[in-house]
Amino acid sequence: MKAINEAENISSRIRKDRVFLGLVVFFSVITVSPIILIISKLIEKGYKQLSFGFLVEKTPDTMEAMTAIANNELIPGGIVNGILGTLLMVAMAAVIAIPIAIITGVYLYENQGKWLANITRNVSDILQGVPSIVLGLISYLWVVKYVTNGFSALAGSVSLAIMMLPMIVRSTEETLKMIPQTLKEAGLALGIPYWRVLTGILIPTGFSGLMTGILLAVSRVIGETAPLMLTALGSRAINMNISKPTSAIPLLIWEFYNDPNMVDMIWSSSLLLMIIVLAFNLTAKQFAANRK
C-alpha cells in the first residue's frame, strides 16, 4: 500500500517537474526571441546593401537613390559620414566623461556616508533617469547657443557625455568598493602618497570593472538619436570639425526613414549599428568575466 502511494507520489512529482521545466523553457524563449527576431530581420533586409563601399562612401542624394531603384539596382554610396561622425562624437564624449566620472566615483568611494557624497550620488542617479532628449536640449542651450553658435559635433558630444557620466560614476564606485581595503592600506603603509596608491594600485586592480562600465556606457550612447537631433543636427558631408554640424549613424537612420527613396538604407545602417553595439557589449562582458 505504502509502496504504491510512494510510486504515485514520485510519478506526480516527475510530472510537476516536467510542467515546470516546460514553463521555464517557454518563458526563456519569449525573453530571447525579440533579439533573435531583430537580428534576423536586420540581416535579412540589410546584408545586400552592406558592402565595403557602404563603409567608405558618403550618403547618396535622394535622386541617385531614386535612379538606382528605378533601374532595379542597389542604392549607391554608404554612410561613412555617419560612421566617422559617430566615432568623433562618441570618442569626444568619452574623453569628456571618463575623467570627470572616475574622479567623481573615487570621491564617492572615499566619502561613504558623508552628506555631500550622498547628494552627489543621488544627483548622479537622477541624471541617469533624465530622458536623453532633455540632455540634448540642455546641450543645445549651453553649447549650440553659446559655445559653437550653431549645431555642432561638440554639442552632440556634450549631450552624450552627460549621458555617460552617471553610468561610469556608478561602476567606478562599485568597482573600488570591491577591492579589498587592505590593498589600499598596504600601499599607504609603504609610504606611497594617496594619489599614487589610487593610480598605481587601485585603478589597475579595478581596471576590468572600470572598463566594463566605460564600454557599457559607450555602447549605450552609440545608438542615441534624440539628443543628437537637437545638437549635431546631421550632415551629408564628412565633417571632422567639432564646431560644425555632423552626422551619426542613428541620425542617418532617422533621415533615411523620412526619405521614401532611402528606405533600403535603413536596414543596412541599423545592422551596422547593431553590430557595433553588440561588439562593445560583448567586449564589456569579456572584461566583466576577467574580474573573476
Partner 1 sequence: MNTNILQVKDPILAIENLSVAYDKNVAVKDVTVGIKKNTVTAIMGPSGCGKSTLLRALNRMHELYENIHTTGSVTLNGEDIFKMSAIKLRRQTGMVFQRPNPFPTMSIYDNVIAGYKLNGINQKKQERDEIVERSLRDVALWDEVKDSLTKKGTFLSGGQQQRLCIARALAFNPEIILLDEPTSALDPVATSKIEDLLITLKEHYTIIMVTHNMSQAARISDYSLFMYLGELVEYGKTKNMFTNPQDRRTEEYLTGKFG
Smallest gap from residue 11 Cβ to partner 1 (A): 51
Q: Where in 154-183 is the site for partner 1 (CB under 8 A)?
A: 180, 182-183
| Among the listed residues 82, 187, 227, 250, the single contact to partner 1 using CB under 8 A | 187
| Among the listed residues 196, 240, 289, 291, the single contact to partner 1 using CB under 8 A | 196
* Interacting span for partner 1 (CB under 8 A) from 134-142, 202-210, 239-247, 277-285: 202-210
| Among the listed residues 62, 120, 205, 283, the single contact to partner 1 using CB under 8 A | 205
| Among the listed residues 7, 23, 116, 186, the single contact to partner 1 using CB under 8 A | 186
Residue 289 lies near partner 1 (rule: CB under 8 A): no
CA–CA separation, 289 and 146 (whole Å): 44
| Among the listed residues 94, 197, 218, 273, the single contact to partner 1 using CB under 8 A | 197
Name residue 120's amino acid: T
Residue 218 lies near partner 1 (rule: CB under 8 A): no
Q: Assign residue 234 a region (left: φ > 0; alpha: ψ between -120 and 50; beta: otherwise).
A: left
Residue 189 lies near partner 1 (rule: CB under 8 A): yes
C-alpha cell recorded at residue 43: 540581416
Residue 192 lies near partner 1 (rule: CB under 8 A): yes
Smallest gap from residue 292 Cβ to partner 1 (A): 10
Contacts of 92 (CB under 8 A, 6+ apart): 153, 154, 157, 161, 242
Residue 115 lies near partner 1 (rule: CB under 8 A): no
Smallest gap from residue 197 Cβ to partner 1 (A): 7
Contacts of 244 (CB under 8 A, 6+ apart): 150, 152, 153, 235
Query: What is 147-215 written as a DSSP string?
Result: TSSS--HHHHHHHHHHHHHHHHHHHHHHHHHHS-HHHHHHHHHTT--HHHHIIIIIHHHTHHHHHHHHH
C-alpha cell recorded at residue 37: 527576431
Residue 107 lies near partner 1 (rule: CB under 8 A): no
CA–CA separation, 6 and 180 (whole Å): 52
CA–CA separation, 140 and 84 (whole Å): 21
Residue 225 lies near partner 1 (rule: CB under 8 A): no
Smallest gap from residue 180 Cβ to partner 1 (A): 7
**Which parts of this chain interact with partner 1 (CB under 8 A)?**
180, 182-193, 196-197, 200-201, 204-205, 207
